[in-house]
Amino acid sequence: MSRLNQAALKGLAADVAVPGYDRAQVKTGVVHLGIGAFHRAHQAVVFDDAIKSGDPRWGVLGASLRSPGVRDQLNPQDGLYTLVVRDGSDDHLRVIGACAGVMVGPEDPAALVAAMADTDAHIVTLTVTEKGYRLDPAAGDLLLSDADVAADLVDLAAPRTAPGFIVAALKARRAAGLKPFTVISCDNLPHNGKRIRAGVIAMARRIDPSLADWIEAEGAFPQTMIDRIVPATIPDDIARLTARLGVEDQGMVKAEPFTQWVIEDRFAGERPDFASLGVQLTDAVEPWEDAKLRLLNGAHSAIAYLGALSGYEHVHEVVAVPGFRAYVEALWDEAETTLNPPPGLDIPAYRKALMARFSNAALMHRTRQIAMDGSQKLPQRLLAGAAERLAAAQGIDAIALGVAAWMKWQSGVTESDEIFVVDDPLAAKTSELLADADTDKARVSALLSLSAVFPPALGADDRFAEAVTSAYLSLSQNGAVEAARLVAE
């Protein structure tokens, strides 16, 4: 079977949307670090819309900072891939043409730095997951003890980290007399712009203080909030699309219909006409960010751990269980009290829409996909809200159950005694802590000592410890479904 490529576009069915522009005229205005499924289903679509609108400055060069997998999927396809939007039984297909190709950073770091330093590059976007920023999850400081960070601080000729590539490219732009590019983090990090800015400047200051001063004065790291559910592609998805297209697309992505991008109106140079492309520009991203992290992402994490522990593979299966569905509403009731909704965000309507999105069976969104890297996600998704509610002398039963479910997940055993590998940067540490604890209370206490996850003030708060311990005991005694139902009563 032949692959999707530029030549194959003419043979696709009329109901498949294809790029309607001359791709040879498109410039590379965006370099994206971490070109996984989410970027291809979200930001790349916006840049594709910009090109379609008649602005050819916004082609995307993708870069992987780890494996060559996406490069091997997309480069044989001339950078083309299909976005499959699934809503119920309907699939809407669109071939995205904005991506010019994919580089693999570790294979040729200097080439990636040169691409970022090119005069046509105005924006660098990132989806490298929380751990890719090499920042302490709780404090937000650059992880100086990280081996790759240490290597970048010694020699930036061949960067290894996202902050390292950004600093190296900005150093090259400054030497060439160019303005900085705008750095836009698109990961689910609280204050993501401030965090990547702090990491970049901290690295730059240790290498060249004058470079750090220039970045502080001239650079831009806008806050952002991004929202779209993008489940992992599975072989059946590719087979199904191949039958529809008549060619094979190894780089396809699938997503829900909903999509949202909110960006702080702060840029260092040229940018697309984001407002005309459906992107919301604002002076204050934080209220949008908090609502998304604590309602959508917080519920997703709780659903993932509770559902996977009790044997449910997909999000829609979890929320179809009455006890779990009621629990999600109880979790939202707690989270809602910690929010300061921005104008235009109707929280009751948002909650209703979220439940409908969670119930979309066509997405087949796997609980274990969401459960990955939980130690990096817990602070912003659940712990921040818990701290605010405790400060206001409010209960945290629902939040505590989500935290306890993460703790249970660290054991690597489901309720049906299925053994699995915990996919988390701290998995070795949590396994060690759990091995040394012989009671449920001791297990909770041991995990609460992880300062990389639990801020010391919260981990030492007796009210928090008691709530999480009670939830953990309920999970052990009652199982996830019943524990959730009891919280929701």
Residues 69-93: tens digit of each pLDDT:
999 999 999 999 999 999 877 899 9
Residue 477, C-beta contacts closer than 8 angstroms, at least 6 positions apart: none
**Cross-strand partners of 226:** 261
Q: Does residue 94 surpass a pLDDT of 90?
A: yes
Going by pLDDT thresholds of 50, 70 and 90, the confidence category of residue 459 is: confident
How many CA within 13 A on the CB side of residue 53? 16
221-280 residue pLDDT tens? 999 999 999 999 999 999 999 999 999 999 999 999 999 999 999 999 999 999 999 999
Q: What is the pLDDT of residues 164-213, one digit of tens each?
A: 999 999 999 999 999 999 999 999 888 999 999 999 999 999 999 999 99
Which amino acid, residue 284?
A: A
412 CB-contact burial (10 Å; exposed 0-12 / middle 13-18 / buried 19+): middle
Residue 30: pLDDT band (50, 70, 90) is very high
> Cα separation of 400 and 289, whole Å?
21
**Percent of the residues in the chain that have a pLDDT greater than 70, as a whole number:** 100
Phi and psi based region of residue 333 (left: phi greater than 0; alpha: psi -120 to 50; beta: remaining): alpha
pLDDT tens profile 373-402? 999 999 999 999 999 999 999 999 999 999
The answer, yes or no, to whether residue 138 has pLDDT greater than 70, is: no
| Per-residue model confidence as pLDDT tens digits over 300-359 | 999 999 999 999 999 999 999 999 999 999 999 999 999 999 888 999 999 999 999 999
Compute the distance between CA of residue 454 and CA of residue 327 in angstroms, rounded to an integer: 23
- Based on its alpha-carbon atoms, the radius of gyration of the chain, rounded to whole angstroms, reads 23
pLDDT for residue 88: 79
Q: What is the mean pLDDT of the chain?
A: 96
Phi-psi region of 60 (alpha: psi -120 to 50; beta: other; left: phi over 0): beta
For residues 241 and 232, give the distance between their C-alpha atoms in angstroms, rounded to a whole number.
15
Nearest-CA neighbor of 95 among 225, 272, 244? Answer: 244
Q: In this structure, are residues 385 and 294 in contact, taking their beta carbons and an 8 Å threshold?
A: yes
3-state secondary structure of 92: strand
Q: Measure the CA–CA gap between 193 and 212, rounded to whole angstroms.
A: 16
Please report the pLDDT score of residue 344 as a whole number.
Answer: 84
